[in-house]
Amino acid sequence: MGQDQNIPGELLSRLTRFGRVVLLDTVLSTNDHALSLKPGHEPAVVVARHQTRGRGRFRRPWYSDDESLTFSLLLSKETPGLPRAGMIAHVAGLALCNAIEKATGLKPLIRWPNDVMHRDQKLAGILCEGRGSAVAVGVGLNVNQTAFPDGVHDAGSLRTATGRDWDRFELLEGFLEEMLGLLAEAGKGETAGLLSALKERSAVLNRRVEVATLLRRHVGTVIDLDSEGRIVLRTDAGRLVVLGAGQVRRLR
Ligand code: BTN
């Protein structure tokens, strides 16, 4: 087990108030591990020091190392009022931004759909995947890295953004507190506040962007985020396009 996985007992017991906690040294992917757990014990959190086959959106490999916080939160789809998977990923982006801001004072934004950004650097990625009655919210947060390997573009860490180290498990605790709080609000149907918070955290709203989808590339200005978490784009040709998935690049 890596040095930082030796989590102090007091912090571990604080984490267990959110649900079952599984601490692992090396795993293929925390999402796969979480989704293989016997159902009925959600929420559960699977944290790993090292992933050998971590993956990102569009099945891209996901880079992480001992300085990252790498985990999956497993939720039951049967939780009353649980938003659909796409929306859960947006909520996770918001929860992560809130937790980072509370801990560090940074004001990260969400590059739609759910990359957590500080300035033009990606601090964290989120991948939500469902299987059977469960959904895994996988989060990779760059915490104390001072540099990234060649080929990992536009990445930053809390350390590069603030000049100091941060405790990964305290950040995890902050995330779980925010996330489960926001999901409880959504479960009570209080979604208007959630949507306006998502809009405030958006790095793309009212910005000119290029969006690559599986089928084509759109260039235009994001004029809204709808209640399903889709972006409404006014293309340069004047058409309105509503997109539920894609890869966004901000244009100057
Ligand atoms: C992305 O930005 O493309 C999403 C990256 C998600 C990475 C996390 S790390 C924990 C969990 N396990 C995985 O294999 N992926 C997610």
| 220 in the same domain as 111 | no
Q: In this predicted model, what pLDDT tens digit does every residue of 112-171 receive, in sequence order? A: 999 999 999 999 999 999 999 999 999 999 999 999 999 998 999 999 999 999 999 999
Q: From CA 74, how far away is CA 82, in angstroms rounded?
A: 12
Ligand 1 close to Cβ of residue 108 (< 6 A): no
Q: In this predicted model, what pLDDT tens digit does every residue of 182-222 receive, in sequence order? A: 999 998 988 899 999 999 999 999 999 999 998 999 999 99
| 122 in the same domain as 19 | yes
Which residues, in sequence order, are bridge partners of residue 22?
Answer: 46
Domain ranges, residue 41:
9-200
> In a 3-state reduction of DSSP, which class is residue 213?
coil
Ligand 1 close to Cβ of residue 138 (< 6 A): yes
- Report yes or no: 103 and 174 within 8 Å, Cβ to Cβ: yes
Both tokens of 100, joined, read 């980072």
| 228 in the same domain as 185 | no
Q: In this predicted model, what pLDDT tens digit does every residue of 76-122 receive, in sequence order? A: 999 988 998 789 999 999 999 999 999 999 999 999 999 999 999 99
| 240 in the same domain as 182 | no
Q: Is residue 195 part of a domain?
A: yes
| 63 in the same domain as 182 | yes
Nearest atom in ligand 1 to the alpha carbon of residue 140 is 9
Mutate to test the pocket of ligand 1, among 23, 24, 26, 31 (most ligand atoms within 8 A of CB): 31
Helices (H), the chain: 9-16, 30-35, 85-104, 158-162, 168-187, 192-200
Q: Is residue 4 part of a domain?
A: no
Strand ranges, E, within the chain: 20-27, 44-51, 68-76, 109-111, 115-118, 121-131, 134-142, 208-212, 217-225, 231-235, 240-243, 247-250
| 123 in the same domain as 227 | no
Q: Please tell me the total count of domains within the chain.
A: 2
> How much distance in Å is there from the Cα of 224 to the middle of ligand 1?
26
